[in-house]
Structure 1
Amino acid sequence: MMRKTTLISYVGAVAMGLVMMLLVGCHEAKRRESARPVALEGLSLMDTLQMRPAMLKTLRAYAADYPSHNSYIIDCTYLHKYEGVVSNGCNDRNDIFCVLPAYRMAFDGGEWSVGEVYPSHYFVLAGKTFFVTSRNDAFLRQTPLEKAYNRIVKEEQVPRYDAFRYLLVVHGCDSVQVLPGLYGDDIQPLRLPVRKFEMDDEPIGE
């Protein structure tokens, strides 16, 4: 009888321990969710664990160079580099991104802006907020994105050009190269028009 009572007590203790662990896990999940900055509600948080270490290392170094800023922009330039030449042509080997300190006028479409649609994605690295632009920002409602951006970004001054960094991200490997600046590179536009895409008039399956 004593052994049976002891076994029941042991099972009860294990069950209680599992319940406590579950409660602690739920509390921790809620705490992390509540810790998410209210100002960024409506934006999608990117997971830095899924990012390439070389990119994170480069961004940490950049933030350390400009510690007075609390937020930055990573803008897709839609440029590529092939055999030493930067071009806006199609290339499946790399992409060039521009990182710069965030400022209020960055997305108002004006003379000193980098675009006219606000970013919908962000991530936090080394205590700094990085806003990431993409083409899908164009079909999202802008008002919530603008409000979130402006709650975080207080800087009015447009950054100097020497604060811009162009990052060459190579596809298929953990490689990020900091370019000296596109003004010093030979940027070549597309010389031939993009071939027209033609649909087959015949129905599929016939």
Structure 2
Amino acid sequence: MYKRAYLFFITFAAVFVMEAPVIAQQTITPPTAQDTFFLAKKKGLLGRLGKSISTYAPDEAPQKIENQFLKFKGKIIRSIQLVRLGFECSIYDTCDVKNNFGIRMAKVFHKNTKEKVMKRNLFFREYSRFAPNLVADNERYLRDLPYIQDARIVVDYAEDSKDSVDIVVLTKDIFSLGGRVKIDKATRGRAEVYEENLGGSATRILIGGLYDEERKSLKSI
């Protein structure tokens, strides 16, 4: 009975270990001249901001990330919108969506990070003054979260205004479920299954098991 339970646990964990590289190694098709940033296809603020963003790398010399925000220094933050993307989407073009068998199976076990969780990770609030360095640091901080693969913060002047700005925060989830299996020999091994973002709540859990046929419990005296 214990051997069957152990084999089932090992098989279950191995499926996730084998599946993860398949997702990570998918080929991303480079954008063509006809591709446009996905926000440009939306109406209102998101559309205006999307049209001002290029999906291509600029030809100009590299610059510090906060430089793009300097012109908005001291402006009032009128609104903040969150755009949360799944791990199967591209943060630069939602037309590039992976939908193979591995992705469909993975989506069954994954839930995108909740909006209230992302709001707790923002360093700025509506109606506060815009601080370029703080926003740039916040963008880097979001990318470093264990359940976020990529993040961008897009800023533009509010409509018909030069003293206030609107902000869009885009985040892309990472597939947060995984596992590890370590087999020392035929009679001994360990398996773990972990979730970095349980139900989109940023809660981490880990379940592990150790099997050792040679290990004997101590007899009470």
- Higher helix residue share: 1
| TM range, smaller chain | under 0.3
TM-score if structure 2 supplies the norm length? 0.24
Rg larger in 1 or in 2? Answer: 1
